[in-house]
Amino acid sequence: MSSQPSDIVFVGNKPVMNYVLACLTLFQNGSNEISLKARGRAISKAVDVAEILSNRYMPESTVKKIDIGTERVDDAHSGGTTSVSSMEIRIAR
């Protein structure tokens, strides 16, 4: 099951440094590979997290894989479903 790291950081509405710290904590606790996941407008922030992490805190880390996709989510307004873009960034040390 090496293709799916169990350590996932979901990037949402919190400040970008919260997610950088979450990643650093996972690596410090022994993770060798983590996954940043984001949807919609948070995708830009996930890229910020990956860049700040690798440029400022973990220069030895590498971005192994970036995947983009589309997810269907329930739309509270219309009662139906709507599509939202998603992204996953795998970072290994």
Query: Using the rule CB under 8 A, is 53 a contact of its own copies?
Result: no
Binding test (CB under 8 A) with its own copies, winner from 21, 51, 58, 92: 51
According to DSSP, the residues that pair with 10 across neighbouring strands are 37
Give least dist CB 1 to its own copies, A. Answer: 24
Alpha-carbon span 26 to 21, nearest angstrom = 9
Select the span of 6-14, 19-27, 38-46, 73-81 touching its own copies (CB under 8 A): 38-46
Assess contact for 20 and 51: CB atoms under 8 A: no
Alpha-carbon span 93 to 82, nearest angstrom = 36
Secondary structure element (H or E) that encloses residue 16, with its range: helix 16-28
Give least dist CB 47 to its own copies, A. Answer: 4
Residues near its own copies (CB under 8 A) are 40-44, 47-48, 50-51, 55, 63, 66-70, 83, 85, 87, 89
